[in-house]
Chains A and B, each alone.
Chain A
Amino acid sequence: MSKIFVVLQKGDESRGIVEAIVDDNTAAELEEHPALYRVTAPGRMVIRRASIEDHLGRPFDLHELQLYLVSLSGHVDESDEEFVLSWNA
């Protein structure tokens, strides 16, 4: 299956986001690079607003991802509750 990834700047907020992603996606793997987090998953990755709010302990609008995203791979489908990345192959 093709690899999905997101890359986020390192920081206190994005640490919570990355932890939420790893919790919600069983095959997800976290890599640490200078100043960056890279999370990969096979075929599909779901980023859930509710999980991020749990990890950060505050309200979170998925649009706020814009502040931390560096790169991504996959087709994007966003709603108020979930930001989903996927490949069809």
Chain B
Amino acid sequence: MDMKAGKKLGTRERYALMTRDLEWRTTYQPMDKVFPCMSYEGIKIHDWNDWEDPFRLTMDVYWKYQAEKEKKLYAIIDAFNQNNGHLGVTDARYINTLKLFIQSIPPLEQMAARGFTNVSRQMAGGGARIACLLQAVDEIRHFQTQIHSISNYNKYYNGLHGFVGQQSRLWYLSERKSFFDDAITAGPFEFMVAIGFAFEYVLTNLVFVPYVSGAAYNGDMAAMAFGFSAQSDEARHMTLGLECIKFMLEQDPDNVPIVQRWIDKWTWRGARVLGGIGMMMDYMLPKRIMSFKEAWEIYFEENGGALFNDLARYGIRPPKCYAQTVAEKEHISHQAWLGFYQKSQAMSAHAWLPTPEEMDWLSSKYPNTFDKYYRPRFELFREMARSGEPFDNHTLSMNCQVCQATIHYTEPDDPTTLCLRETDHQGEKYHFCSDHCREIFEYEPEKYVQAWIPTHQALQGNCFEPGVDPSAPDFDAKAALFDYWGIRDGRDNGDFEGSEDQRNFSAWRKLATQN
């Protein structure tokens, strides 16, 4: 019998036949009952067939390449651990970037997985559902590989062990948690703009390229390996985010102002989270890759500029906060580190003062701001440390009601004045770090009045483990709070100088090179 083989299918057709062409419109129940979240945000979709699938991966291709990434990654992690790779980092201060990383990022990846799982059910279009589902699986892989890669450091260094519960409790992690809390409690389309677009497309370069390059430059093969492994998924995520934006904007002109508002909100919320990245790049990497200012210029101004030029044809303009972020790029990393340094007693990580050489690097990278505003503060702190009484701010910090960062950034046009805004809502007063956060609040106050603000919760007496009795005669408030935070006083916190991490790293390096 003669069998005539048909023409081999191209990527597009193969993908379509095995994915979106399999779906149908429901008849036993109406579509809007099966997909109840599609219209309440005000977004109008007329034809899901217009959705262009980014990266047309069928499951076999997905598993094949993801499996290869995993094999490579775990081989590197094993070799790193076998080789005492942790002793290869530039110096032990670097490890504190991993402490902030593990306290910040894996919990967010887990929430991203939850969010994308939800959206992969709620989107009425099959192409969107599949892309979101694969992203959800990617995000699970990300938090697991991040934890695996960093776990080896936990055997040897302090401050890493408590990350599981810390993001919900610690006063300096609330801006990360709040970002994702806000996103996953939004509707599916806002979630896609918040995470898929603003975070994954506009801002992710600023998180991962510094961390991964930072790891590479500072001898941290484990973090570099997981960073690359995750980033290879990020390219797909970026493309999904951009496709979702394009799709919404092309479906109906009524979507444009809604999407614009979300772009404004989420670019700002992302910019606030990135303050910590700036601090990491400029102050915590012993071997620095580039300044935060430079990174902002390349990845936000230039790359973001290209993106918003492209979207202009839909009537989208760059986010409202654009000018403020450009004005702040020469200030926020310094302001953040100064704030971090003086509260190291209350952190699950160490801080330290920059060396004279490091301050000269900062001068050269920030000729307009560092010597004028920030060097004098560091030099005063250094004098205080030399006198035997390092500066230690024991007061409780104020948080912004919306972004939940501590309020420590200055007016965009005046770096000598703290930026503070307030508003009254139904008889209660609320405070913000910026015009942008206040505007976000005033648009949807019901979302933010219920925020769990760490400092306020501590002052309400809620920050103790169950069973602790604050009225007991032997009650030690500080010990109870540290217990709640998972911080071991004298080990996980404080200045890097004199820390157990510093002593151990030095001793072990000696052991590794002598008999």
Contacts and interface: CB of A to CB of B under 8 A. Distances in A.
Given A73-B307, A76-B239, A89-B306, A35 B232 contact: no
B61 interface: yes
Contact of A33 (B11, B55, B213, B313): B213
Given A7-B209, A66-B236, A80 B312 contact: no
Contacts of B234: 70-71
Interface in B228-248: 228, 231-232, 234-236, 238-239, 242, 246
B69 interface: yes
Contact of A71 (B10, B235, B313): B235
A8 B157 CA distance: 32
6 contacts: A2-B307, A34-B216, A36-B216, A69-B231, A71-B238, A78-B56
A70 B240 CA distance: 15
B309 A89 contact: yes
A78 B306 contact: no
Interface of A: 2-5, 7, 9, 33-36, 63-64, 66-76, 78-80, 87-89
A5 B299 CA distance: 11
Given A72-B235, A80-B10, 5 more contacts: A5-B303, A70-B234, A71-B231, A78-B11, A87-B306
Contact of A68 (B11, B232, B312): B232
B61 A63 contact: yes
A72 B238 contact: yes
Contact of B235 (A4, A66, A75, A88): A66
The 5 closest A-B pairs by CB, nearest first: A2-B306, A35-B216, A89-B309, A69-B235, A34-B216
B280 to A, nearest CB: 16
A66 B205 CA distance: 17
A88 B314 CA distance: 11
B242 A71 contact: no
Interface in B212-265: 212-213, 216-217, 224, 228, 231-232, 234-236, 238-239, 242, 246
Contacts of B208: 70-71
A30 to B, nearest CB: 16
A34 B236 CA distance: 23
Given A3-B303, A33-B213, A69-B231, A75 B56 contact: no
Contact of B309 (A2, A33, A35, A79): A2
B54 A76 contact: yes
Contacts of B57: 63
Contact of B213 (A35, A63, A73, A74): A35
Contacts of A71: 204-205, 208-209, 231, 234-235, 238
A72 B239 contact: yes
Contact of A3 (B54, B61, B236, B306): B306
Given A66-B235, A80-B11, A89-B306, A35 B228 contact: yes
A70 B212 contact: yes
